[in-house]
């Protein structure tokens, strides 16, 4: 019913907070829609991204989980970035493009990105890490760095890119109920 009300061909969700082992068909499958997930590998009830596409009008030609291309497609041991070029979305960070403060496998372990390629564009659905305390500063910065590099590389390959999701960035009062504290965390002022 919700999908009918939205009258949309693509629906992107963040904070799905479910583990792969807990997925049940009646919980996630919607008649007439395909769904693509990125789920946390280790933390229970944490993060997660899902993109639903209306299969009658909006079928992707490729789908990937993760931002860095280091995860593997289902039932495969080959990383997305190591697949034959005709099976890749592309734009993967090249050696030297990322600082390496946080390993690629760690960046992609929290279920924070699904990438779908359509004939006319590449869609990224993300749930970026929040800036909640000092312990996550390096992870957050590394995730944004990888996201920036991946998008720039895709654009350099001539692809149109659409970024969707929760960036967890506070730019104005509308973005948070606790604006002043949040702006200070982002090193910004009103």
Residues annotated within a binding site: 15, 166, 168
Give yes or no: 127 in active site.
yes
Q: Which residue intervals of the chain are DSSP H helices?
A: 2-6, 25-28, 104-107, 137-156, 179-185
Tokens 């990322």 locate to 98
Give the C-alpha separation, 80 to 71, whole Å: 6
Cβ atoms of 39 and 18 within 8 Å: the answer is yes
Catalytic residue among 9, 82, 166, 175: 166
| Number of CB atoms found within 10 A of residue 51's CB | 23
Give yes or no: 166 in active site.
yes
> Can you name the residues that pair with 116 across neighbouring β-strands?
63, 123
Binding-site members for Mg(2+) are: 15, 166, 168
Nearest partner of 52 among 169, 164, 167, 168, judged by Cα: 164
Catalytic residue among 22, 127, 148, 175: 127
For residue 65, what are the contacts with CB-CB under 8 A and spacing of at least 6? 36, 37, 38, 71, 80, 108, 113, 114, 115
Q: Which residues are catalytic?
A: 127, 166
């Amino acid at each position: 019913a919700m999908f009918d009300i939205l009258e949309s061909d693509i629906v992107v969700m963040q904070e799905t907070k479910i583990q792969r082992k807990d997925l049940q068909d009646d919980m996630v499958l919607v008649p007439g829609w395909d769904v693509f997930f990125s789920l946390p590998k280790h933390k229970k009830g944490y993060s997660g991204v899902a993109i639903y596409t209306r299969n009658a009008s909006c079928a992707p030609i490729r789908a990937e989980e993760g931002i860095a291309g280091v995860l593997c497609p289902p039932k495969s041991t080959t990383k997305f970035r190591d697949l034959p070029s005709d099976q890749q979305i592309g734009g993967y960070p090249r050696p030297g493009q990322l600082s390496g403060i946080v390993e690629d496998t760690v960046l992609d372990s929290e279920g924070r990105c699904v990438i779908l390629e359509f004939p006319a564009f590449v869609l990224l659905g993300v749930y970026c890490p929040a800036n909640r305390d000092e312990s996550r500063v390096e992870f957050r910065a590394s995730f944004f760095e990888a996201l920036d590099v991946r998008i720039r590389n895709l654009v350099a390959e001539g692809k149109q890119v659409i970024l969707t999701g929760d960036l967890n960035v506070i730019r104005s009062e509308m973005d948070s109920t606790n604006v002043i504290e949040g702006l200070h965390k982002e090193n910004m002022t009103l």
